[in-house]
Amino acid sequence: MRVIVHGGAGGEPDEPEPRQAVLDEAAATGVGRESVVDAVEAAVRVLESSPRFNAGVGGAVQSDGEVRTDAGVMTSDREAGATCAMPGVEHAVSAARVVMEETPHVLVAGEHAVDLAADFGVETGVDLLSEDKRERWGDLDAPTGTPTEHLDWLREKFGGSAAQSAADESSGDAPRDHDTVGAVAYDGEAFAAATSTGGRWLALAGRVGDVPQIGSGFYAAPAGAASATGAGEDIAKTTLTRRAVRHLESGMAAQAAADRAVEEFAELTGSSAGVIVLDRAGGAGAAFNSDAMQTAVADD
């Protein structure tokens, strides 16, 4: 078994060493599992439970003050499942696995996804607000009323562009929210990829980004698998993980595929993102065009 994990592509973290320790733990936890699906689920669950990342506990707050989680998981035989817009679900990756293994669907959303997760033993009703996010939200003059009123407030407060959001994070006006987490596993025969997130800080309530979309936030095929992180809307528009795996299918090794996919993404969008990749030779690749993206790799 080989597992690679990421903790999000974004700015330089304030405390990289403790974050790296959690990533190392996640990779080591995943590599001890018997199947590739078990491996990526176990690895991502470790990251979802850490408030140092934007997934599960410590996820980004949307414009109504709610943390909603999204996740997706896929195997190299193209089984897939995803969930999105779930309040109170720490382990969104486990809910996504329920969709993959227990339903005929690939994506279930909102309160119905929460109810489905609960029926299959995934804990719900969890308080996902970290102390930091709770304090930041409490300091805001939060919007009320209609979605249009929320949008007006968001534009006034933080601007409407990805560039403005990045500037706000750099100035301290908003917390870093690109700490989406993901894992890819390979056991010599099969691949699995999983990605989980709390979304984007102060996104419109109900916003869903790239993470639960097949080929955008996560993708697996016989040639390899990938998990992405970064500017969600642009990742979705360019299907970043499918792009990376397509390069594997054309004969590239994992690192070259990751590099090329991120280069193409930057050329097309001008945004920042990162991707992790495993290939059939067991090679691991990681590429990003943001300031930082921490990763960890473990082998059994």
CA neighbor of 220 nearest in space, from 179, 273, 265, 277: 277
HSE-up of residue 22 (Cα within 13 Å, Cβ side): 21
Say if residue 58 is exposed, middle or buried (CB neighbours under 10 Å; 0-12, 13-18, 19+). Answer: buried
Residue 56 has which token pair?
Answer: 């599960």
- Plot region of 55 (φ>0 → left; ψ -120 to 50 → alpha; else → beta): beta
Question: Following CA atoms 246, 248, 252, 256 in sequence, which dihedral angle do they give, to the nearest 10 degrees?
Answer: 80
Angle between helices 92-102 and 36-48 (to 10 degrees): 150
Residue 254 has which token pair?
Answer: 């994992």
Q: Which of 69, 124, 180, 295 is catalytic?
A: 180
180 catalytic per annotation: yes
Q: Which residues are catalytic?
A: 180
